[in-house]
Structure 1
Amino acid sequence: MNIRQSLLQLNESSSDDDDEISFAEYHIFHQPSHSKRKHDGSIPGHLVKFRDRQAGHARMYQDYLAENSTFSLTDFRRRYRMSRDLFKRIMAAVEDHDDYFKFKFNAASTPGLSCFQKVTAVFRMITYGVAADATDEYVRIGESTVIESLKKFVKAIIKVFGDEYLRAPNEMDTSRLLAIGQERGFPGMLGSIDCMHWRWKNCPSSWHGMYSCHLHEPTIILEVVASQNLWIWHAFFGLPGSHNDINVLHRSPLFSKLAEGQAPQVYYNINGHDYTMGYYLADGIYPSWATFVKTIPEPQGNKRKYFAKAQEAVRKDVERAFGVLQSRFAIVRGPAHFWDQETLGDIMKACVIMHNMIVEDEGEVDPDERFQDGGDNVQPSHDQHPDLDEFIETHRKIRDKETHHQLQQDLVEHLWQHHSDQY
């Protein structure tokens, strides 16, 4: 009598529970010492987990997406960092873009994971910064599937929404930014600029020296330009943490459109002087270029003290943007656990894109100025092809120190005359 017949006979004589016999059979016939046949795909001795994915999806749906959901919209906003409508819009777009997120049956007609389960697992990693296997108990999804879902999700976000929500300012955007700057006492201002370091826990040992910074651990740098409403207009990510803000700036494409004559035209007058290039508020490490306005270290006199106070107050927009980005997406606040730079870059870009989508969805951007044309918004507002001499001359104007100091002095007078009662 073989082992299976013995088990069946034991079952008939002592128990009517088929689940107990199947469990016993499973452990006997899947041990390596008892395996007699070749396994083409399964691992001998590997315990297959029955996660009951359908029940998991039904429970999650009732918790968050049903009409009378268990948890309120406020709970949803706190746990997903965005409104339910925006989340559903993102989930639908990702599912349409990549078949990986569509609900399927495998070759054995076993139902797979729903798009909601995969995307929820990704959001748990992004918003809470948890490990990949920490979502299994609720979402009913394996660790390797979560990691694969995360990589595919961030690529889909960049592909579907990147042109609209991570674009250079067009003419309409520039006009709005200039109007905001004028109202705040800085005519010609397009935003504020700074850099942020993201710790890289799993940086290869051979790269530690190149990526280590003043924090004495490997980091990767993100350069950002942000406006008052926390919208991020420029994001340049990927340089080693050993660089400083100046090194990053020299490699950044921030002024490429301006040098190529494709940026929107800017004209403004301050204190009787005309200017044709917008500028960004920056801290003291940035160079004295015509496109930057820095504070005055150790200012003397009421006018200069007032200018320094106003400049430092408005420049904090970019610091606030960093704080909100890290608060919404804990994955970029804690140490990065992935090994390859491409995945880290995709994660950072996707978080910036979703940050801008939340800014728009929550009313920080005028709904009448929603950007419907997608990629058309990043096309040059006017078509110019400067020759080499014009290209070099534009570069010279961008880096002109005399214009930088003149602009700073004009702003000192302008703020003192028109806005001294606001700060």
Structure 2
Amino acid sequence: MDLNNPLSSSESSTDSSSDSSSGSSELDAAISKAAILAVNAMFDAVRGDDDDEDDDDDDEVVRPRFKRRVTIVRRRQEDEARLMRNYFVDEPIYNAKMFRRRYRMSKRLFLQICDDLAAEYPFFQQRYDGSGKLGFSTKLKCTSALRQLAYGTSVDTFDENFGIQKEPHGSNNDINVFEASPFLEELISGLAPTTSFYANDNFYKSGYYLGDGIYPEYAIFVKTFTDPIDNKRKLFKKKQELARKDIERAFGVLKKRWKVISNPSRYWDKDKMQSVIYTCIILHNMILQDEDKAFCQDYDPEDPSLDPEYWTQETPMEQRIKNTHAIKSGETHNMLMADLVDQVWTTRSRQDEAVPDLNEYVSDDDA
């Protein structure tokens, strides 16, 4: 700085400011460049690791990326021979009582079912598989199916004895189940079977169903009394609960014989659930018929509901609305309850008949 030159101070100050501004820009540029280099270095490091892994893979022997199927050698002939020795030879290891206990039916009925299934469904026929080996027999397949129903277990449970395994492939209380069931839809559509009757000399077009206190006051429900106030209602409460108990015991017979019903469902598909229930009911009826315990009341072979086409017809919307109002009529419910209470009371002298013993229809199936 020149003291004799007045402009020297100003020029020096300007130069200093310019140098400071230039230095600041260079610093910012350096920081930005360093940040970019750091990011690139990280990316290079990641790519380097991948390249190293690829190099390591190249050094190793390339192997196929699939799992080989494990073949289980099942001695089907031995399984068949064991089953025959146990139950189906002239002098089997297990007698007729043990057969009845484990198969839930007589040997005669079981063999009849085997013949019928083999004649109707190819699955139950004994055939050769793709490798030319003779497959499972009809008796063994039917045995496996019945054991699943009787004991409520999966097919894998019997793999060791029969050599058959499975092929690879909200809260619901009574009223919730009823509201979501197809049965309510059948009532609204007017397709559900029904019958007319008289109660206390009053005519009712449709039948009713016994229920407990959780059900709503619909015309189709007859409930019991929580706190009966007089002898008439006490008697009705007793008779209604006795009738409900008999119905529940009837289902208890099925659950005792077929444990698959007692356990939580193993299926998510509703059609499969329905098929399991129907199978158990049909087998139960066949067993009763085989043991001369079956009875059928008011069966009409000409009933139109037996035709599958009957359930495909559509009901007009006006009729559906009318049926819905009739089903949910609280007035009809109260009238029906009053008439049934009076009917039970006036006929009480004739209601001392013995209640049928359902134990006659229960077998020793606790195995």
With the shorter chain as reference, the TM-score category is: 0.5 to 0.7
Q: Confirm or deny that 1:333 pairs with 2:357.
A: no
**Residues 59 and 42 (structure 1 numbering): CA distance in 2 closer, same or farther, change over 3 Å?**
same
CA shift, 1:115, in A, is: 1.5
Q: Does 1:125 align with 2:148?
A: yes
Please show how residues 248-287 of structure 1 align to structure 2 within 5 Å.
248-264=177-193, 266-287=195-216
Aligned partner (choices 413, 418, 421) of residue 342 of structure 2: 413
CA positional deviation for 1:274: 0.8
1:254 aligned counterpart, secondary structure: helix
The one-letter code matched in structure 2 to 1:82 is: M
Residue among 223, 246, 267 paired with 1:317: 246
Shift, 1:291, TM fit: 1.0
Is 1:96 aligned to 2:25, yes or no? no
Tell me, yes or no, if the aligned pair for 1:295 and 1:311 is still in contact at 8 Å. Answer: yes
Q: 1:386 to 1:354 in 2, by over 3 A?
A: same
Which protein has the larger Cα radius of gyration, Structure 1 or Structure 2? 2
Q: Quick one: structure 1 residues 367 and 385, their matched pair in 2 at CA, closer, same or farther if it must change by over 3 Å?
A: closer
Distance 1:284 1:391, change over 3 A: same
Taking only aligned residues, the RMSD between alpha carbons, in angstroms, comes to 3.7
Would the aligned equivalents of 2:156 and 2:165 in 1 still touch at CA under 8 Å?
yes
For 2:340 and 2:309, locate their aligned partners in 1 and report how far apart those are by CA, in whole Å: 30
Matches within 5 A, 1:214-363: 242-264=171-193, 266-337=195-266, 343-344=272-273, 346-363=275-292
Which of the pair is proportionally richer in strand?
1
Q: What's the TM-score once normalised by structure 1's chain length?
A: 0.58
Change (3 A) 1:264 1:62: same
Name 1:397's counterpart in structure 2. Answer: 326
State the Cα deviation string for residues 323-342 of structure 1 (Å, max 9, x = none).
22221122232344556666
> Is the contact between residue 183 and residue 192 of structure 2 (CA under 8 Å) also seen in structure 1?
no
Deviates more, 1:65-74 or 1:391-400: 65-74
Counterpart-to-counterpart distance in 2, 1:340 and 1:270: 41
Which residue is 2:80 aligned to?
57
Counting matched residue pairs gives 288
**Which amino acid is the alignment partner of residue 422 of structure 1?**
D
Name which of 348, 352, 358 aligns with 1:422. Answer: 352
Q: Partners of 1:143 and 1:357 in 2: how far apart?
A: 28
Which residues of structure 2 form unaligned runs of 5+?
1-63, 354-367
Structure 2 CA distance for aligned equivalents of residues 269 and 339 of structure 1: 42
Alpha-carbon distance between aligned partners in 1 of 2:110 and 2:300, rounded to the nearest angstrom: 18
Q: Is the 8 A contact 1:263 1:380 kept in 2?
A: no
**Would the aligned equivalents of 1:280 and 1:291 in 2 still touch at CA under 8 Å?**
yes
- Partner residue of 1:82? 105
Identify, as 1 or 2, the structure richer in helix. 2
- Secondary structure (helix, strand or coil) at the match of 1:111 reads coil
TM-score, normalized by length of structure 2?
0.66
Structure 1 residues 51-85: Cα deviation after superposition (integer angstroms, max 9, x where no partner) = 2x234324423433445544333322211122334
